[in-house]
Amino acid sequence: MSDHILHAEHVDHAEHDHDDHEHPKESFISKYIFSMDHKMISRQFLITGIIMGTIGMAMSLIFRLQLAFPNMRFSFLEGILGHWAKDGKLDPNFYLALITIHGTIMVFFVLTAGLSGTFSNLLIPLQIGARDMASPFLNMLSYWFFFMSSCVLLFSLFVKDGPASAGWTVYPPLSALPSAIPGSGMGMTLWLVSMILFIGSALLGGINYIATVLNMRTKGMKMTRLPLTIWAFLMTAVLGLLSFPVLLGGSLLLVFDRSFGTSFYLSEIVAEFAGGIERTGGSPILFQHLFWFLGHPEVYIILLPALGITSEVIATNSRKPIFGYRAMIASILAIAILSFIVWGHHMFITGMNPFLGSVFMLGTLIIAVPSAVKTFNYLATMWQGNLKLTPAMMFAIGLVSFFISGGLTGIYLGNAALDINLHDTYFVVAHFHLVMGSAAIFGMMSGIYHWYPKLFGRMMNETAGQIHFWLTFIAAYCVFFPMHFMGLAGVPRRYYANTAYDQFNVFVDMNQFITIAALIGGAAQIIFLVNFFYSMHKGKRSVQNPWKSNTLEWTAPVEHYHGNWLGEIPHVYRWPYDYSKPGAEHDFIPQNIPDEGQTDPMQEPHVAEVERRVKVDPVVA
């Protein structure tokens, strides 16, 4: 480690002494492509994630058109999709391919790599006070595995029989047998290759994040002085490290079933249907166990970083310490641990032993307790605050709102009995798009608006950001809230059209409304994209600490140096949430400001002040 720091400092000096162009270490390739600087890798993750997200969103708009107007022809679709939309009519097989790839892209490529990859890379070294990651080389590999994985997945869109179409959960036998659905041919093979590369990326990244957080904190940065973002990223990495290998194993067995004639997941399938070899003795449910053993922690791999970012953004912009810092850490830990014993709630109706179902139900509903604690703590942080309603703050508030709405419907679905009639309906679609999709995307957006000055040294346009927020926020609710009612009427997800069902035809209007809302939401993202890429070069230059924040990344210079700080790494003397501290000159005290006589911030004598203010405030008193 010390070698690395020396090396980094050497580079810093070199940069100052010589012109950039003459220095061999700063060639275009080493600076922008095979960069080992965590800040550059973070940008690479972010931009790749944004591109993947745009593709995933465009796909959702296409199948939303189909769902809203099942009898209409959109001739422009033929121009885009060719034979998959002959005469402007979406092919049912391609519809399934679209929902599959949409799910895969959003869950893995945007909300796992795009979110965790971007902000773990950017913030871990900067917020704990390190020059770079523990292993910059592994970090670079992690990005390039992710990049290859993205390329393979996008390439699979162009194979003859179409990309994987068995749903993003790729349950065999549907995903194992090309005779079951065309997408399970070459497309599925590429999906698996892509996923295996992706897991490689996630593991390389995860090891690095954990090693960095545990070993490379600057002097004075105790674990109890870490910002909640870092706690969230740390637990995310631990979750990924423990669960992704299981999916890797599961995927490899699926590769064997598909390509080498084994029957891990296949049972009682005649030879004619299974590529000429009779398959029996395996269990299709085994795959579901392996998949959801990753799949459920994956939900929290997505959500925890978003919650960590929100904690930081809400505290900074409320100008208040985060309420219940230790309770927040405890709830992160509780959620992380519990997330490993609840995967079975995705499988209540697979015919599992009812007793096993009861156990999974118990675990699932217990998770609601730490989640509720987090929500209450956010509310308490905003209470009596001095809110700066920046775009980042608005997105953080939006996240809390989605987290409540989607979290509450989780109490229905986690209940094994209620799940019987709600499983795989639009109720589920509404639930996870709110709590995992929208909430995590809003966390990511909040992070982008908040740390854009750190990423690119410039500010994003605020007005565009606010318009982006309100359009996206309202559109997301308009899209997902009505879906609950479709689910309660028994409309199944992944249906190409509902026209064959009398009792579902009443939802035609609702489907059209949802699609129009989705199109507006999609258009709002164009505002974001333009703002994002335009501000990169044309935005206003940022000051060093634009949000008057306490954490260490704002003590680093606006310009990027490989090594982050030009001089010595700042030391840490206090926790990161000393906002509006009584007696202090400003309403923020950065972590590197010495404070000799500081006691535990939790125990300080602020009680009298609190009591006085509580009496004044009629809302809570």
Partner 1 sequence: MKISNTLTKSAFLLVILFSVTLSLVTQTVNAGNKHLKFNYADCPDHKTKLAGLTLNNDKNAAGDRIKNTWIKNFQTIVKNGSNKLKIIDLNKENTSTTFQYLSVVQVKSLKALIKTESENPAFATFIPVIILQKVMSEAEESLGSKINWLLIIVVILLIMVIFLVISILSRISDIQGKPAINWNSLNSKFSLAFILLGMLAVVWEFGAHSKLTVFNEGPASEHGINYDNMFMITLGLTGIVFIITQGLLFWYGYKYKSDGKRKALYYPDNHKVEFWWTIIPAVVLTVLVIKGLLTWTQMTNHSNKEARRIEIFGYQFNWATRYSGADNKLGSHDFRQVGKINNLGIDTNDSKAYDDVIVVNELHLEVNKPVLLAFRAKDVIHSAYMPHFRVQMNVVPGLPTYFSFTPTVTTAQMRTKMDKPNFDYILLCNKICGAAHYNMKMKVVVDTKAEYEKYMSAQTPLVANKVSKPKAVVLK
Least separation in angstroms between CB 72 and partner 1: 5
| Residue from 47, 148, 327, 516 in contact with partner 1 (CB under 8 A) | 327
Residue 215 CB, shortest distance to partner 1, in Å, is: 28
Asked if 502 interacts with partner 1 (CB under 8 A), we say: yes
Which one of 119, 300, 395, 412 is in contact with partner 1 (CB under 8 A)?
412
Stretches 34-42, 157-165, 204-212, 446-454: which one binds partner 1 (CB under 8 A)?
Answer: 157-165
Q: Are the C-beta atoms of residues 249 and 333 closer than 8 Å to each other?
A: no
Judged by CB under 8 A, which of 449, 451, 507, 554 binds partner 1? 507
Q: Which is nearer to partner 1, 142 or 591 (CB)?
A: 591
Contact set for partner 1, span 46-85 (CB under 8 A): 69-76, 79-84
> Per CB under 8 A, does 365 bind partner 1?
yes
Q: What is the DSSP string of 244-263?
A: HHHHHHHHHHHHHHHHS---
Is 341 among the residues that bind partner 1 (CB under 8 A)?
no
- Report, in Å, the least distance between residue 80 CB and partner 1: 5
Give every CB contact of residue 505 below 8 A, 6+ residues apart in sequence.
498, 499
Q: Which of 314, 546, 538, 537 is nearest to 442 (CA)?
A: 314
Are 87 and 76 in contact, with CB atoms under 8 Å apart? no
The residue (of 21 and 160) whose beta carbon lies closer to partner 1 is 160
By the 8 A CB rule, do 296 and 337 touch? no
Q: Tell me the closest approach of the beta carbon of residue 318 to partner 1, in angstroms.
A: 6
295 CB contacts (<8 Å, ≥6 apart)?
169, 247, 343, 346
Other Cβ atoms less than 10 A from the Cβ of 210: the count is: 20
Q: Which is nearer to partner 1, 220 or 492 (CB)?
A: 492
| Interactions with partner 1, residue window 189-248 (CB under 8 A) | none
Question: Which CB atom, from 236 or from 515, has the smaller least distance to partner 1?
Answer: 515
Which residues, numbered 4-33, are part of the site for partner 1 (CB under 8 A)? Answer: none
Give the gyration radius of the chain's Cα atoms.
25
Stretch in the footprint of partner 1 (CB under 8 A) among 33-41, 122-130, 134-142, 469-477: 469-477
Write down the least CB distance from residue 476 to partner 1, Å: 12
Q: Specify the DSSP element, H or E, that contains 358.
A: helix 354-382
The residue assigned the tokens 């209007």 is 509
Closest to partner 1 by CB, 518 or 569: 518
Is there binding between residue 163 and partner 1 (CB under 8 A)? Answer: no
**Least distance in angstroms from the C-beta of 189 to partner 1:** 16
d(CA 555, CA 517): 42
Closer residue to partner 1 in complex, CB, 506/543: 506
C-alpha 440/C-alpha 31 separation (Å) is 30
Restricting to residues 255-284, name those near partner 1 by CB under 8 A: 266-270, 272-273, 278, 280, 282-284
CB of 173 to partner 1, least distance (A): 5
Q: Token pair for residue 136?
A: 């910059």
Residue 518's nearest CA partner among 447, 615, 438 is 438
8 Å CB contact between 36 and 136: yes
Q: Is 558 in the site for partner 1 (CB under 8 A)?
A: no
- List binders of partner 1 among 568-597 (CB under 8 A): 577, 579-582, 587
d(CA 269, CA 479): 40
Residue with tokens 């109706």: 349
Of 162, 205, 295, 305, the one binding partner 1 (CB under 8 A) is 162
Among 464, 516, 566, 593, the residue binding partner 1 under the rule CB under 8 A is 464
Through-space distance between the first and last CA atoms of the chain, rounded to whole angstroms: 52
**Interface with partner 1 includes 356 (CB under 8 A)?**
no
Q: Can you tell me the distance from the alpha carbon of 619 to that of 621, in angstroms, rounded to the nearest whole number?
A: 6
Task: Please choose, out of 118-126, 243-251, 467-475, 559-567, the segment that lies near partner 1 by the rule CB under 8 A.
Answer: 467-475
- For residues 318 and 382, give the distance between their C-alpha atoms in angstroms, rounded to a whole number: 6
Applying CB under 8 A, the span of 4-12, 247-255, 305-313, 371-379 interacting with partner 1 comes to 371-379
| CA gap 164, 176 in Å, rounded | 11
CA 428 centroid distance within chain: 19
